Amino acid sequence: MMTVPTLTGQRPPAATGRPGLTAQLLRRKPIGQMVSEADEGHGGTKLVRSFGVLQLTMISVGATLGTGILVILGESVPLAGPAIWISFAIAGLAALLSAVSYAEMAGLVPVAGSSYSYSYATMGEGMAWICGWCLVLEYAVSVAAVAVGAGQYVNETLAVFGQVLPDAISQPPGEGGLMNIPAMVIVVLAMLLLVKGAKESAWINTSIVVVKVGILLFFCAVAFTAFNAGNFEPLLPMGAAGVSAAASSVFFSYIGFDAASTAGEEARNPKKDLPRAIMLSMVIVTTIYVLVAVAAIGARPWGWFDGTDAALVRILEETTGQPWIALVFAVGAVLAIASIVLTVLYGQTRILLSMSRDGLVPKIFGRVSRRTGTPVAGTLLVGTAVALTAGLVPLGALADATSIGTLFAFALVNVAVIYLRRTRPELERTFRVPLFPLTPILGALMCGYLMLNLGADTWVVFGIWMLVGVAAYFGYGRRNSRVASLTHEEYRELSGRESSTLSTPEPTKAEIS
């Protein structure tokens, strides 16, 4: 009886039969192996399971709530006009359709890789790499995009005391400055907190999320005192195309539930708690986004938002005439941005950890510290790269680049749900997508529709990013893939062992030839 290595082990030198390119791209990673690796850890050290449903929900809400409202409202309102709340609702619906698919997959594949792992288990290594590469764009650029907005609110805080940061240190090149120092500082602080420990980071995030929800509800209460229904006329000054364009742009505001799904290896009961956290967070976030958007437009005509930084603080200042109210909100907004940076950066490091475990990116991203139970080296590398991006790249380019990566990854998760329902209906599902297959089909189609509404420049950036990803795969991932390192016989036996425990079908001929 031959000894079959795990995917994290080394194949004996004498073994032969590495798959060809097509077979490698189609070779799936068994779900049972993913779960086994999560339980055993990598290199003898595993992530610590310390999150309950509350922490998971707060990770999701923390990564989502505030981005589209606090940071890019001034850029999205001119696209949609008073109908910006409809844009948020459309983006929220698209996200919700994908969120239910995420909830089902999170219960089936409770590991750290999120949609990357879901794609690997269903569509093979090639599509998994594409998805993982999109997630790198989605997470890293999202952190930078949100952190860029920190400078606006730091200035609003200082303005109460008659001070302001010079553009040279609060704006990126191209927008009148040399480097956005506040954005870089927030990323570095989040990086250091994540290095310390996931449990500590989660509790701090939970506290900040409570503050964030409080200040947004406070804004609504104040803004509704200056509500003018006439501000909603005409509702669609830029037409339906403007509403769709704004919805595509703000879609990156909804990536929070993806961040929660990356916590699969640190949740105490991931099969039940992850689906619950994902669905609960989507309800909370969409409700508050639409409510704040309606309150903001009701308080000020849509043309007022064009070029207005920190729009919500300005509305509070003009409505109340009390500088201290603006100060409280601005400080709360900085904290809100910090929680988004913290949770999304967390998700980025866990995606890279999973890809490293599979051999598709360098091992350093998968090393888990025995002392802290976190991927320290990977966190420091990612945090440094994101901090530099946040300090040097303008917000608009970052937001759209994040949206297209997010939409592509979400579409793949919808497809993964359909695939597993058809090929492996016997697997135990702690959450099932309602109205199957209509819901995941609509989710995938809506993601595709929103992608098409993004600008040509965004597609060019996405195309260049994909070409870089192809080069990275052939330069490193293809040669170091642990799934591909298994011989045909080893892979068949590994898949067969999963079949006996999960009742999975045998791999296809394309995967083993």
Q: Give the whole-angstrom CA distance, residue 451 versus residue 454.
A: 6
* pLDDT the model gives residue 68: 60
More confident residue, 128 or 502: 128
Q: Give the pLDDT confidence of 38-48 residue by residue, as tens digits.
A: 776 655 567 77
Q: Stretch 310-317: mean pLDDT, rounded?
A: 83
Q: Give the whole-angstrom CA distance, residue 348 versus residue 480.
A: 21
More confident residue, 501 or 230: 230
7-11, 95-99, 112-116, 321-325: segment of lowest average pLDDT: 7-11
Q: Which of 130, 62, 139 is nearest to 345 (CA)?
A: 139
pLDDT of residue 105 exceeding 70: yes
What's the whole-number average pLDDT of the chain?
81
More confident residue, 444 or 178: 444
Query: What string of DSSP letters covers 418-487?
Result: HHHHHH-TTS--SS--TTTTHHHHHHHHHHHHHHHTS-HHHHHHHHHHHHHHHHHIIIIIHHH-HHHHS-
Q: Give the pLDDT confidence of 448-481 residue by residue, as tens digits.
A: 887 887 778 888 888 888 999 999 999 999 999 9
| In contact, 299 and 226? CB cutoff 8 Å | yes
Q: Give the pLDDT confidence of 27-80 residue by residue, as tens digits.
A: 988 887 787 777 766 555 677 777 888 888 988 888 888 666 776 677 788 889
Q: How confident is the model at residue 5 (pLDDT cuts 50, 70, 90)?
A: very low
Q: Give the whole-angstrom CA distance, residue 133 versus residue 149.
A: 25
Give me the sign of the Cα torsion angle 385, 391, 397, 403. positive
Backbone angles phi, psi at 80, to 5 degrees: -105, -20
Q: What letter would DSSP give residue 307?
A: T
Q: Which two tokens stand for residue 507?
A: 């791999």
Above pLDDT 90, what percent of the chain? Answer: 18
pLDDT of residue 509 exceeding 60: no
* pLDDT the model gives residue 373: 79
More confident residue, 366 or 9: 366
* Residue with the two structure tokens 């194949």: 11
pLDDT of residue 504 exceeding 50: no
In sequence order, the 6+-apart residues with CB closer than 8 A to the CB of 102 are 114, 115, 257, 258, 261, 278, 410, 413
Burial of residue 154 (number of CB atoms within 10 Å: 0-12, 13-18, 19+): buried
Q: Which of 415, 441, 453, 454 is nearest to 97 (CA)?
A: 441
Q: Give the whole-angstrom CA distance, residue 394 versus residue 397.
A: 6
Measured CA to CA in angstroms, residue 484 lies from 351, 404, 506, 512 at distances of 20, 29, 17, 10
pLDDT of residue 418 exceeding 60: yes
